Structure 1
């Protein structure tokens, strides 16, 4: 074995150790997959990495910064591989991530939740780089039992070629992941690598009774939570949430509101008021509170304005609805944190709805994310199960494992 091959082997083993430090010791079949499927093979030469200390992503070119690129390839951290759906940002807008190689420990946690067994037929939604599909193919050891769907044709083609380069040939489909792939149904397991606001009906129709669906979750308020649901013989699905899961959205589940100006107009005449609920309590200080509000106050989003153009306003929280008909603003004056000025406009009193959701969550003992559930009925209606009382002590990581992110 050459020195380069030894170094690569050590990097793969070191990554496995980092993953197991986060999620615990993996079953042998997954240990073999994480060592046997090299992550770097699935990364393009140009990626985007978060700057130290957070903030925006910055470009990393393998040819110019090989050490940094290789370190990212085998770090327990996400690596962005595409910006702006492969195009340019809007005029005057900043670049935004649209596809990534997910954090390896999060990948492992989701694969464990999927509970794949020998002989299962698996549908993956969101091929991305193809690394996750490579891990699944290694575990199944039968490429005919794996279908992976990618909405971006270029990503799909590149991933298929990379998988083939490792001798893996699952069915790679270019299409809308929300539609699944009926040709390969029925499936025993469905794994999504993109966040959804509800379970696409096609996924349930394409499941065998007893099938498990694992998907990151998103509400208009926050992208946080991973749903693990089981489908029964009547076409119903019921599951519980796990902490975290801040993945990029399935494209059809993205918000259509991208700017406050799509909702707010200078000639609006809002209703004034005050609140004693701190905007930071519902938007920034507590991810569990944000998750609860996202389920209990549906179709409401928020946006922080750190430099509002308004006299006497230091910081403003904007709140709007997905219909684009209502908005609210909550203002911090920069001096005191007991009372905040509120303005509401439109048919929905949005801040009042947020206050009501927060009060309900707080009055039931601030239950943690695993206390919440989601149900899909046979007629296709979907709704959240909100606990009436706290279900066990709250923890930073949640009751079911590590806090998951992109």
Structure 2
């Protein structure tokens, strides 16, 4: 890619991206979304500074235009903000906002099934590109988008205006929706949630659709598509796609040695034959199912923990930091692992029971699970709403 003819380079890059998106979706991109991609190109919404690589190193459009353009037109997410917009200095860098991978953007727009004239609420404006695509299809003044970060909302609003897009950008808590423009035909979130906010259901018309990325403390994965009925209830199924940043007011900022484990804790020791990587490894179906069963349990790996005889350790803890467990692998045996458990709950026992339940039910993937939101709360189910999951491992 060269900057000798920037306009031609961008056209070629966008054309190539649309081909990659169609390949990823397994079908040509719908004509209305392809037209939208040309009218509101991604490059008009991604900010001039992005953060690349595992180290989240800044890349400025003015200083490295070729690198910037390649990142914008790759079918990958692009980090657009770190540390909630606070300069980290020499401290830890972590992503706090990003432009989602284009293929998942268009997959979600397809799943949302928006039509011209629909009233749409978007939760999580980010760069504003998704709102621009939506507005191109549903029409002017039909999209309301809510962003909790005032700086992000301001930047997105300016980019939308510069492209002539008429959409309402609201700075506020997306969990509350935006009642002033309700009711909506469609509601889409571009951040993941661990629980569906009740205002979303209340602000969507009967027959309307809610589409949101999903996360449990155990595993960030999945999309949830729900349809609202006329009785204040929404229900729908998960699908095995995506991982999004968590809605800010649902974050859990916990660290094992800062918040969970204390020097005076005396954990109980036992052993297990269940390899910890079976429950927290590379199988997304198992991890997704455990996340639904154990809604307040999270885990993290600690390789080479500087403990004699331990090559790797899986830490498990409750989100209220009252119970924890650790499972140690010595790097040799694959059929015996040391277990440590502390607190009122035996967390490894719960995890093992949830995994055994998953095996007994033929290893269900995300598509076999669903969720119902009613006045009395949420209910997760397997295969149909008549098979609700009881909380816990068994």
Shorter-chain TM-score above 0.5? yes
SS at match of 1:217: strand
Partner of 1:100: 98
2:134 aligned to which of 124, 133, 136: 136
Whether the 8 Å contact between 1:327 and 1:346 is mirrored in structure 2 is yes
Answer yes or no: is 1:218 the counterpart of 2:215: yes
Answer yes or no: is 1:42 the counterpart of 2:41: no
CA distance in 2, matches of 1:288, 1:56: 29
Whether the 8 Å contact between 1:256 and 1:322 is mirrored in structure 2 is no
SS at match of 2:194: coil
Gaps of 5+ in 1: 389-406
SS at match of 1:67: helix
CA distance in 2, matches of 1:291, 1:46: 34
Answer yes or no: is 1:79 the counterpart of 2:75: no
CA distance in 1, matches of 2:256, 2:267: 19
Taking the TM superposition and a 5 Å limit, the aligned residue runs for 1:201-350 are 201-350=198-347
1:44 deviates by 1.6
CA distance in 2, matches of 1:87, 1:37: 29
Whether the 8 Å contact between 1:88 and 1:95 is mirrored in structure 2 is no
CA distance in 1, matches of 2:52, 2:276: 30
User: Between Structure 1 and Structure 2, how many residues are aligned?
Assistant: 380
Taking the TM superposition and a 5 Å limit, the aligned residue runs for 1:149-228 are 149-228=146-225
Whether the 8 Å contact between 1:16 and 1:35 is mirrored in structure 2 is no
Once the two structures are overlaid, the 10-residue window that deviates more, 15-24 or 211-220, is 15-24
> In 2 relative to 1, CA 315–93 (structure 1 residues): closer, same or farther, beyond 3 Å?
farther
1:190 deviates by 0.3
Whether the 8 Å contact between 2:269 and 2:339 is mirrored in structure 1 is yes
Q: Please give the root-mean-square deviation of Cα atoms over the aligned residues, in Å.
A: 1.6
1:378 deviates by 2.8
Whether the 8 Å contact between 1:178 and 1:203 is mirrored in structure 2 is yes
Whether the 8 Å contact between 2:117 and 2:139 is mirrored in structure 1 is no
Gaps of 5+ in 2: 385-394
Once the two structures are overlaid, the 10-residue window that deviates more, 309-318 or 144-153, is 309-318
CA distance in 2, matches of 1:93, 1:384: 39
> In 2 relative to 1, CA 284–134 (structure 1 residues): closer, same or farther, beyond 3 Å?
same
Once the two structures are overlaid, the 10-residue window that deviates more, 319-328 or 303-312, is 303-312
2:125 aligned to which of 127, 136, 143: 127
CA distance in 2, matches of 1:248, 1:18: 23
Whether the 8 Å contact between 1:367 and 1:387 is mirrored in structure 2 is no
Whether the 8 Å contact between 1:215 and 1:228 is mirrored in structure 2 is yes
CA distance in 1, matches of 2:382, 2:36: 37
CA distance in 1, matches of 2:342, 2:367: 34
Whether the 8 Å contact between 2:10 and 2:69 is mirrored in structure 1 is no
1:259 deviates by 4.0
1:387 deviates by 4.6
1:71 deviates by 0.7
CA distance in 1, matches of 2:293, 2:211: 22
Cα distance per residue 1:1-47 (max 9 Å; x no partner): x9543332222222211111111212211111112211111112211
Cα distance per residue 1:316-362 (max 9 Å; x no partner): 11000011100000001111111100000001111111101111001
Once the two structures are overlaid, the 10-residue window that deviates more, 6-15 or 329-338, is 6-15
1:92 deviates by 7.6
Q: Name the TM-score, length of structure 1 as normaliser.
A: 0.91
